């Protein structure tokens, strides 16, 4: 046991100090003897791969979870944080990765639920508007959460914290769903808070952002603190390697391979969204050739989900010629027929859409590959062959799992995503459509997933990647198009674009790429929200 005797040599007492925090879950040591010190006004990054124990640690700090052992010092005084309510009273606020919001309620109700009753009592709407104006976080208290974009939802969480004048703000993966512009705005707010003396504990996989924003970083691996660093003095690569404990292999593009004939063509596709507050697709045209990766960038909620549904066949289109796969009109084909015709797809939601949570990995493999891999015999499942196929996915894509008989829900997000991508790719599709391939996936797994997509394209498949992670699109795509308000821009070769160009196009502020209805350019002023 490492014993630190308190000697008041430092002038400034840390805002928060954790000593020897240990938390065990059945089968895993989520936190092992974790020490952490956060100074007043400091933006402190917490780094680590999926499953490194960061979320467990911050949930403990916010009083949601308990630790088996360890000590907490808040502004120099030892204390316990038995519940989020106590945490809030102490001055700790938290913005969750999966927002703790209630879709069927208004912004005001959501905020009222997350603050002390006294604060919620009178004129909460006014207070919300005051704080949101003060920090440039525009919010309409009367709107229902389900009508808001992800960025706006995050603002609710932040305003909810700011209303209570926090001394420590915990942010769990705040930028994974934001556009570059929204990230810039968020950073402005965070820097301002830090300048006002609020400490920020910041979890993210985006190392470039951490370099830009954070003063110090603590690196965790397998539940333990393994290193500390000053992010501005490191490179994204060196931090990734500290997290993984080994060298990071960046995806490499195979040397110029043949770009062949169009495999997937979409012509004049217009579809009314089947969703409440969805985005209708308007006159979408594009082509993906064999050996090529087309990237579609866009802020979530601009028609990506609808496009994915139309491409996978979940929502058939009336006009069969609108979607053509290798000279075959498939507009009216369902998902199964499209798979047969050689399409593989990976939806955004891993659990519930990409995989059945409570079914084992081999069953999940079977569900998608039953015909492609001949896993059926007269209506009976060939269990041995299905298992074999699942094992080949697990081995081929280095999925960390105790075995293919385990439920899909037991895998971490990154591992499950590798499994789903592997399951699709190993069926040798000519066309592969992927929505948000590395959402919330750690650097190592993300690199592996991107490499797999590149390899598949090099082998002659046509690959379509729909994502709002621009770094990712620039890493893998040959051409990039932008979807905004249900319209798709003309695609441009990746070399001719910069991240900023695409970022502006995503926000609907620029119309590079021949948008049929150019939005009036508003220069630096923030344009109307697309959602």
Partner 1 sequence: MIPEWLVPTILTIITAATPLVFAAVGEAVAEKSGVLNLGVEGMMVIGAFAAFAVGVSSGSAILAILAGAAAGLLMALIFGVLTLYLMSNQVATGLALTIFGLGLSALLGYGFVGKTFGGLPKLDIPGISEIPVIGPIFFGQDFLVYLSVAAVIGVNWFLFKTRSGMLVRAVGENHEAAHSIGYSVTLIRLGAVLFGGAMAGLGGAYLSIVYTPLWVENMTAGRGWIALALVVFASWRPWRAFFGAYLFGGITIIQLHAQGLGIDIASQFLSMLPYLATIVVLVLISRDTTKVQLSAPACLGKNFHASG
Least distance (Å) between residue 116 CB and partner 1: 10
Least distance (Å) between residue 27 CB and partner 1: 13
Q: How many residues bind partner 1 (CB under 8 A)?
A: 31
Least distance (Å) between residue 219 CB and partner 1: 25
Sites for partner 1 among residues 124-183 (CB under 8 A) = 146
Burial class (CB in 10 A: 0-12, 13-18, 19+), 133: exposed
Angstrom distance (rounded) from CA 417 to CA 355: 9
Least distance (Å) between residue 119 CB and partner 1: 12
Site string for partner 1, 372-401 (x = CB under 8 A): ------------------------------
Cβ atoms within 10 A of the Cβ of 185, count?
19
Helix (H, G, I), strand (E, B), or coil: what is residue 387? helix
Q: Is 497 in the site for partner 1 (CB under 8 A)?
A: no
Angstrom distance (rounded) from CA 487 to CA 531: 13
- Which CB sits closer to partner 1, 147 or 285? 147
| Part of the chain binding partner 1 (CB under 8 A), chosen from 107-115, 129-137, 197-205, 255-263 | 107-115
DSSP string across 441-469: --HHHHHHHHHHHHHHHHTT-EEEEEES-
Angstrom distance (rounded) from CA 428 to CA 322: 24
- Which CB sits closer to partner 1, 86 or 367? 86
Least distance (Å) between residue 272 CB and partner 1: 13
- Which CB sits closer to partner 1, 52 or 210? 52
Site string for partner 1, 182-211 (x = CB under 8 A): ------------------------------
- Which CB sits closer to partner 1, 88 or 418? 88
Q: Which of 77, 246, 256, 276 binds partner 1 (CB under 8 A)?
A: 276
Least distance (Å) between residue 301 CB and partner 1: 15
Site string for partner 1, 61-100 (x = CB under 8 A): -xxxxx----------------xxx-xx-----x-x-xxx
Angle made by CA atoms 216, 221, 223, in degrees to the nearest 5: 105
Q: Which of 29, 39, 90, 105 binds partner 1 (CB under 8 A)?
A: 105
| Part of the chain binding partner 1 (CB under 8 A), chosen from 101-109, 234-242, 282-290, 405-413 | 101-109
Angstrom distance (rounded) from CA 154 to CA 405: 37
Q: Is 113 in the site for partner 1 (CB under 8 A)?
A: yes
Q: Is 288 in the site for partner 1 (CB under 8 A)?
A: no
Least distance (Å) between residue 67 CB and partner 1: 10
Cβ atoms within 10 A of the Cβ of 294, count?
25
Please state the separation of Cα 357 from the chain's center in Å: 19
| Alpha-helical segments (H) within 146-284 | 150-162, 180-195, 207-213, 236-244
- Which CB sits closer to partner 1, 117 or 379? 117
Angstrom distance (rounded) from CA 3 to CA 19: 9
Q: Which of 1, 104, 514, 525 binds partner 1 (CB under 8 A)?
A: 104
Cα atoms in the Cβ-side hemisphere of radius 13 Å centred on 383: 3
| Part of the chain binding partner 1 (CB under 8 A), chosen from 40-48, 102-110, 225-233, 252-260 | 102-110
* 193 phi, psi to nearest 5 deg: -60, -45
Q: Do the beta carbons of residue 393 and residue 425 sit within 8 Å?
A: no
Helix (H, G, I), strand (E, B), or coil: what is residue 110? helix
- Which CB sits closer to partner 1, 85 or 188? 85
Q: Is 117 in the site for partner 1 (CB under 8 A)?
A: yes
Cβ atoms within 10 A of the Cβ of 231, count?
24
- Which CB sits closer to partner 1, 101 or 266? 101
Q: Is 114 in the site for partner 1 (CB under 8 A)?
A: yes
- Which CB sits closer to partner 1, 124 or 382? 124
Site string for partner 1, 22-41 (x = CB under 8 A): ---x----------------
Q: For residue 305, what are the contacts with CB-CB under 8 A and spacing of at least 6?
A: 275, 278, 348, 435
Q: Which of 29, 39, 119, 120 binds partner 1 (CB under 8 A)?
A: 120
Q: Which of 191, 192, 237, 275 binds partner 1 (CB under 8 A)?
A: 275
- Which CB sits closer to partner 1, 113 or 249? 113
Q: Do the beta carbons of residue 457 and residue 431 sit within 8 Å?
A: no
Angstrom distance (rounded) from CA 261 to CA 259: 7
Q: For residue 423, what are the contacts with CB-CB under 8 A and spacing of at least 6?
A: 364, 365, 368, 369, 390, 393
DSSP string across 238-258: HHHHHHHTS------PPSS--
- What is each CA distance from 184 to 191, 197, 345, 507, in whole angstroms? 11, 20, 32, 13
Q: Is 59 in the site for partner 1 (CB under 8 A)?
A: yes
Least distance (Å) between residue 107 CB and partner 1: 13
**Which residues are at the interface with partner 1 (CB under 8 A)?**
25, 59, 62-66, 83-85, 87-88, 94, 96, 98-105, 109, 112-114, 117, 120, 146, 275-276
């Amino acid at each position: 046991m490492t014993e630190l005797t308190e000697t008041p040599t430092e002038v400034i007492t840390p805002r928060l100090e954790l000593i020897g925090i240990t938390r065990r879950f059945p089968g895993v040591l989520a936190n092992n003897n974790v020490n952490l010190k956060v100074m007043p006004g400091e933006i402190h990054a917490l780094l680590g791969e999926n499953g490194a124990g960061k979320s467990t640690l911050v949930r403990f700090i916010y009083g949601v979870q308990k630790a088996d052992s360890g000590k907490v010092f808040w502004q120099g005084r030892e204390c316990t944080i038995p519940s989020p309510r106590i945490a809030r009273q102490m001055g700790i606020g938290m913005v969750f990765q999966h927002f703790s919001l209630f879709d069927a309620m208004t912004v005001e109700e959501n905020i009222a639920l997350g603050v002390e009753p006294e604060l919620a009592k009178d004129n909460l709407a006014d207070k919300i508007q005051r704080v949101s104006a003060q920090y440039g976080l525009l919010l309409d208290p009367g709107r229902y959460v389900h009508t808001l974009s992800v960025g706006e939802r995050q603002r609710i969480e932040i305003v909810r914290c700011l209303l209570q004048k926090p001394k420590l703000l915990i942010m769990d993966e705040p930028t994974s769903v934001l556009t570059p512009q929204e990230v810039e705005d968020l950073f402005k707010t965070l820097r301002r808070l830090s300048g006002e003396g609020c400490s920020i504990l910041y979890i993210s996989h985006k190392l470039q952002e951490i370099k830009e924003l954070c003063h110090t970083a603590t690196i965790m691996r397998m539940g333990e603190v393994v290193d500390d660093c000053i992010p501005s003095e490191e490179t994204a690569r060196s931090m990734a390697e500290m997290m993984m404990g080994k060298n990071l292999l960046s995806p490499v593009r195979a040397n110029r391979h043949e770009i062949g004939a169009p495999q997937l063509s979409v012509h004049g596709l217009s579809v009314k969204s089947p969703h409440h507050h969805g985005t209708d697709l308007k006159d979408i045209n594009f082509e993906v050739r064999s050996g090529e990766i087309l990237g579609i960038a866009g802020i979530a909620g601009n028609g990506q989900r609808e496009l994915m549904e139309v491409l996978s066949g979940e929502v058939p289109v009336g006009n069969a010629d609108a979607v053509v796969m290798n000279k075959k009109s498939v507009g009216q084909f369902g998902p199964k027929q499209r798979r047969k015709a050689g399409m593989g797809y990976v939806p955004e939601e891993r659990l519930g859409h990409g995989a059945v949570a409570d079914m084992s990995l081999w069953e999940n493999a079977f569900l998608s590959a039953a015909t492609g891999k001949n896993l059926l015999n007269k209506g009976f499942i060939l269990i041995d062959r299905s298992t074999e196929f699942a094992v080949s996915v697990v081995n081929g894509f280095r999925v960390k799992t105790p075995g293919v008989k385990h439920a899909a829900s037991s895998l971490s997000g990154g591992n499950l995503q590798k499994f789903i991508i592997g399951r699709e790719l190993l069926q040798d599709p000519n066309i592969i459509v992927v929505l948000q391939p590395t959402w919330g996936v750690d650097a190592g797994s993300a690199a592996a997933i991107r490499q797999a997509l590149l390899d598949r394209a090099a082998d002659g498949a046509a690959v379509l990647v729909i994502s709002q992670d621009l770094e990712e699109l620039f890493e893998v795509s040959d051409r990039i198009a932008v979807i905004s308000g249900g319209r798709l821009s003309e695609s441009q070769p990746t070399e001719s674009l910069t991240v900023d160009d695409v970022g502006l196009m995503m926000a609907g502020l620029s119309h590079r790429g021949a948008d049929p209805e150019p939005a009036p350019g508003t220069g630096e002023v923030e344009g109307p929200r697309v959602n």
